[in-house]
Amino acid sequence: MNDRNSQPASPTPAVDDRPPSQPLRESAHQSIMYFLKELDGEMCSELYDMVLAQVEEPLLSAIMIYTQGNQSKASAMLGLNRGTLRKKLRHYGLLDGPKT
């Protein structure tokens, strides 16, 4: 959020302009397979929720940066109801602003 004394946010945040080394789907698959390998035969629980949270939080943070905190634009981009977006932002501690 900007006040009168702060400079306006830039339209897009400074990010690494290099494309990822592999598509997100492949990167996720590789990371999940590595995690399972590290379990070394042990069982775990709630893996589905853990993986979704690992992807959802950075997605929400990036979208909020991209939309400069505009929840209406962010909810439209994500295809979420604005109330649902606010609930998710609150859950991840992103409601007051994205983590940078």
Q: How far is 57 from 92, CA to CA, in rounded Å?
A: 6
Contacts of 33 (CB under 8 A, 6+ apart): none
Closest CA to 32 of 21, 48, 56: 48
- At 20, give phi and psi (nearest 5°): -60, 155
Q: Which domains are present in the chain?
A: 45-100 (1.10.10.60)
Q: What is the pLDDT of residue 37?
A: 96
Contacts of 62 (CB under 8 A, 6+ apart): 98
Tens digit of pLDDT for each residue in 35-66? 999 999 999 999 999 999 999 999 999 999 99
- The model's pTM: 0.71
Q: How far is 62 from 54, CA to CA, in rounded Å?
A: 13
